[in-house]
């Protein structure tokens, strides 16, 4: 079964997408960090200082989102390698809590051929990848807002 997941085009595509999103978030963080470090604090008024502090807080939030996404990604990779999945109930709960549309998987030919238990594991991984992707999208959106705000002080 582990080979099935590793050979899955869907999972491979999700891995590539998430890797790209992580790299983009890291680039965004680097850019924001550079702006904050290069700001001439002595020349900023109270609004500028408040903005710098908001950007620093935003950087912290983005870092936290990245750390959580990396932890989830590590957990999924562990499941793929070790085949030690959570219980069926825990997986169903995780799928439900992810907010992902697990029914969309029914359209995938590779998904249709799986046993019921393997379908649950596949859905668990797919929904968690989707959740990670949404977390990283949020981080990128926050980065864009913060970068736009920093244009006012640089």
Cα three-residue angle 97-127-79, rounded to 5 degrees = 105
Mean pLDDT, rounded, of the chain: 86
Rounded to whole angstroms, how far apart are CA atoms 77 and 144? 29
Per-residue pLDDT of 91-108, as tens digits, reads: 999 999 988 888 888 888
Per-residue pLDDT of 3-40, as tens digits, reads: 566 678 888 888 888 989 999 998 988 888 888 888 88
Rounded to whole angstroms, how far apart are CA atoms 59 and 49? 15
Per-residue pLDDT of 117-145, as tens digits, reads: 889 999 999 999 999 999 999 999 998 88
């Amino acid at each position: 079964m582990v080979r099935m997941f590793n050979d899955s085009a869907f999972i491979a595509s999700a891995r590539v997408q998430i890797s790209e999103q992580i790299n983009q978030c890291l680039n965004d963080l680097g850019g924001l960090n550079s702006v904050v470090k290069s700001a001439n604090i002595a020349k900023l008024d109270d609004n500028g200082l408040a903005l710098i502090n908001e950007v620093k807080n935003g950087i912290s939030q983005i870092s936290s989102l990245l750390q959580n996404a990396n932890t989830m990604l590590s957990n999924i990779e562990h499941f793929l390698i070790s085949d030690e999945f959570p219980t069926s109930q825990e997986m169903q709960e995780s799928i439900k809590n992810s907010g992902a549309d697990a029914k969309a998987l029914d359209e995938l030919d590779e998904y249709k051929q799986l046993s019921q238990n393997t379908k649950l594991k596949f859905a668990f991984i797919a929904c968690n990848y989707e959740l990670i992707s949404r977390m990283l999208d949020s981080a990128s959106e926050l980065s864009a807002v913060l970068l736009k705000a920093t244009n006012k002080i640089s």
